A = this chain, B = another copy of it.
Amino acid sequence: MRSRDDKKQEALYLATIKLVNEIGFSASSVAKIAREAGVSPATLYIYFKNKEDLLVSTYLEIKEEMGRALLAGFDEGLPVHDLLHRVWCNTFAYVSENLAEFRYTEQFANSPYSELVDKTRVRAHFEPLLRVIQQGIDRKIIKDVDPDILTAFLFHPIMVLANPKHCSSFKPSGENIEIAFRMAWDALRL
């Protein structure tokens, strides 16, 4: 028998991301994704149970990779400020280098499919970061407020700024990134 080809699975992931970026979530049909990946639509169903499985798997794949990228060089010995700064910069780097992947996750999160993912599993990839934030709170460095609020001021601004689609004038230069981080820190710190 022919052996299962990881190349094909990878090609399907990439085709999915590419198409969703180019023509959007709902226009990305199984047929188009398969054609883009260079396989038959029937083949897609060897690697994924159905379309939903393909889309969810693609999302989880990206989230895992993204978690690794954001936490690169994450040394928990460093001060909270420095750790957050490191993650902040990592995020900008990841998003600008993997814009398609990032946009896929945004479209996915705003689709009905998003309700199918186990959110705690996704959160797990970012666990060390959440721990450090808690540390910052305990040490009275960061405001002691609801975690959702912290997230809203720490991560969402990056997400917006790093995605050219949402920005008309902002350019992610090193300087701008530092300015924005400074503001996030002003928001969070006690």
- Which residues in A have some Cβ–Cβ distance to B below 8 Å? 1, 23-27, 42, 106-107, 110-112, 119, 143, 145-149, 151-153, 156-157, 160-161, 166-171, 176, 179-180, 183-184, 186-188
Identical chains in the assembly: 4
Complex Cα spacing A107 to B156, Å: 17
Q: Is A180's CB under 8 angstroms from B149's CB?
A: yes
Looking at A23, A183, A186, the one whose CB has the most chain B CB atoms below 10 A away is A183
**CB-based nearest B residue for A145:** B179
A-B CB contact pairs (8 Å), 6 listed: A23-B112, A146-B169, A146-B179, A153-B183, A186-B186, A186-B187
Q: Is A160's CB under 8 angstroms from B168's CB?
A: no
